[in-house]
């Protein structure tokens, strides 16, 4: 069992090149099932979530070959339609194969994603949309079974602009008969990037990035080569790593307009932010100013950066209100931050963060990916040693986080528990 040990108090400075976006890569990987032809994707990062999606694709009869920086995928066995519980429970986004399978083969059997560490996260909107397109769906023995002779275009109104539902339905609609409209669609950059890939495959998807997406069904799709957008959440995490230590970090290969709401808050907190082409520089000195943050669907402040931003605000001068509107249980970093000396009070979906002048290192446990990132950031700024356990959560979304931070001057390393250590019980990975 591994953990990350951090000796806090080092000022970080330097450059980081941002990886390809995990959350854009996952649906795009699922979309490769829409054709039997080969697709080529460049620069997909070696993350646990990506490997899980490769396993799902292989289970569904795809060949996945990593050749240097390029991954080649084609479906050599189009007779397999089932994604098992073992894989889907590891990662909710596995459910994104439902739309492509149903669209291309008229059938799919996918395990229900089940519970999740950051709230219940249902899939009702995915299923309602597919039913509107003519699918017959049953849920039995923990699996969602869907059938349709051929999906047909439909007008779908999402109750909330779900990213996953927008993506699943967009993929399903590419091969449907007629035109599909998705109203109240998610506008996230990852949705736009998926539309870009689908269009490169020969689909007709218009309006991605607005709240109405229109998809005109075509008879078939072909393989495509595609470059996926950079990871805005990874970029934001590294900018915060610099800022929380009073340092200066430049992220390269970043798209600043994907991060506007976040950068505005960083500036409001007193951090100097400078954008130049595809690089963003954030320089901080002293304690941040308190600022209020409210998570919202894009282009609002991203929920995935809420826990890391909260870690930053624990050291602010004054009191900040952090409101989480997307997920109902996304304050799981709070108890752990408090163990490091943070002063935070929770009331429903609002956290009141009263800034302190320093944190102290402590043994803490990551409960999910972004909560884990928050604890690492807090550890970078804290006095003394912080040990972050359950690092497999971090490996889902950051490529060797500790090595990148060490490259910026942090004193941080991954260690292995001694064989006889008492290891805390881990929850299953959501």
- Does residue 349 belong to the site contacting ligand UD1 (CB under 6 A)? no
- Taking alpha carbons only, the member of 154, 40, 29 closest to residue 97 is 29
Options 31-39, 161-169, 238-246, 335-343: segment touching ligand UD1 (CB under 6 A): 161-169
- Does residue 380 belong to the site contacting ligand UD1 (CB under 6 A)? no
- Does residue 171 belong to the site contacting ligand UD1 (CB under 6 A)? no
How many other C-beta atoms can be found within 10 angstroms of the C-beta atom of residue 347? Answer: 8
Residue nearest to ligand UD1 (CB): 164
Question: Is 116 an active-site residue?
Answer: yes
By DSSP bridging, strand 350-354 and strand 363-365 are unpaired
- Cα–Cα distance between 282 and 272 in angstroms, integer? 6
Q: Which of 55, 193, 248, 304 binds ligand UD1 (CB under 6 A)?
A: 304
* Relative orientation angle of helices 189-200 and 22-31, to the nearest 10 degrees: 30
Element (H, E) at 50: helix 48-59
Phi, psi of 223 (to 5 degrees): -70, 160
- Does residue 234 belong to the site contacting ligand UD1 (CB under 6 A)? no
Least Cβ distance, residue 219 to ligand UD1 (angstroms)? 29
Look up residue 21 and give its DSSP letter.
Answer: P
Q: Which of 39, 162, 333, 365 binds ligand UD1 (CB under 6 A)?
A: 162
Options 53-61, 160-168, 169-177, 244-252: segment touching ligand UD1 (CB under 6 A): 160-168
- Does residue 254 belong to the site contacting ligand UD1 (CB under 6 A)? no
- Does residue 23 belong to the site contacting ligand UD1 (CB under 6 A)? yes
Element (H, E) at 15: strand 13-17
- Does residue 142 belong to the site contacting ligand UD1 (CB under 6 A)? no
Q: Which of 93, 98, 376, 405 binds ligand UD1 (CB under 6 A)?
A: 93
Closest CB to ligand UD1 among residues 123, 353:
123
Helices (H), 106-162: 124-132
- Does residue 29 belong to the site contacting ligand UD1 (CB under 6 A)? no
- Residue pair 358/331 in contact (Cβ under 8 Å)? The answer is no
SS3 117: coil
- Does residue 265 belong to the site contacting ligand UD1 (CB under 6 A)? no
- Cα–Cα distance between 180 and 162 in angstroms, integer? 17
Catalytic residue numbers, as ranges: 116
| Interacting residues toward ligand UD1 by CB under 6 A | 23, 26, 92-93, 119, 121-126, 160, 162-165, 186, 190, 303-304, 326-327
């Amino acid at each position: 069992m591994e953990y990350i040990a951090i000796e806090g108090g080092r000022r970080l400075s330097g450059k980081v090149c941002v990886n390809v976006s995990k959350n854009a890569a996952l649906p795009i990987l699922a979309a490769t099932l829409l054709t039997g032809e080969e697709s080529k994707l460049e620069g997909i990062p070696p993350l646990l979530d990506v490997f899980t999606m490769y396993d799902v694709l292989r289970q569904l009869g795809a060949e996945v070959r990593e050749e240097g920086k390029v991954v080649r995928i084609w479906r050599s066995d189009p007779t397999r339609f089932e994604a098992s519980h073992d894989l889907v429970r590891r990662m909710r986004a596995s459910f994104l194969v439902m739309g492509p399978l149903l669209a291309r083969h008229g059938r799919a059997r996918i395990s229900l994603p089940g519970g999740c560490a950051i709230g219940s996260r249902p899939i009702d909107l995915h299923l309602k949309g597919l039913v509107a397109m003519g699918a017959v769906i049953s849920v039995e023995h923990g699996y969602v079974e869907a059938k349709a002779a051929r999906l047909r275009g439909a007008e779908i109104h999402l109750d909330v602009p779900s990213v996953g539902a927008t993506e699943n339905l967009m993929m399903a609609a590419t091969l449907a008969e007629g035109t599909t409209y998705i109203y109240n669609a998610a506008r996230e950059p990852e949705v736009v990037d998926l539309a870009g890939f689908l269009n490169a495959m020969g689909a007709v998807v218009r309006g991605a990035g607005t709240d109405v997406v229109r998809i005109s069904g075509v008879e078939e799709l072909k393989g495509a080569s595609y470059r996926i957008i950079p990871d805005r959440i990874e970029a934001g995490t590294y900018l915060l790593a610099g800022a929380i230590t009073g340092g200066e970090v430049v992220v390269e290969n970043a798209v600043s307009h994907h991060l506007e709401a976040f950068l505005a808050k960083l500036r409001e907190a007193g951090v100097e932010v400078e954008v130049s082409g595809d690089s963003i520089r954030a320089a901080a000195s002293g304690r941040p100013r308190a600022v209020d943050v409210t998570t919202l669907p894009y282009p609002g402040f991203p929920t995935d950066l809420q826990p890391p931003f909260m870690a930053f605000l624990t050291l602010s001068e004054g009191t900040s209100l952090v409101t989480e509107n997307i997920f109902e249980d996304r304050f799981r970093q709070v108890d752990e931050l408090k163990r490091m000396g943070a002063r935070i009070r929770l009331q429903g979906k609002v956290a009141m963060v009263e800034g302190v002048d320093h944190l102290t290192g402590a043994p803490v446990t990551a409960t999910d990916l972004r909560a884990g990132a928050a604890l690492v950031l807090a550890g970078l700024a804290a006095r003394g040693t912080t040990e972050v356990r359950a690092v497999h959560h971090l490996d889902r979304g950051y490529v060797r986080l500790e090595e990148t931070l060490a490259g910026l001057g942090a004193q941080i390393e991954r260690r292995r528990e001694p064989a006889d250590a008492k290891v805390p019980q881990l929850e299953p990975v959501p």
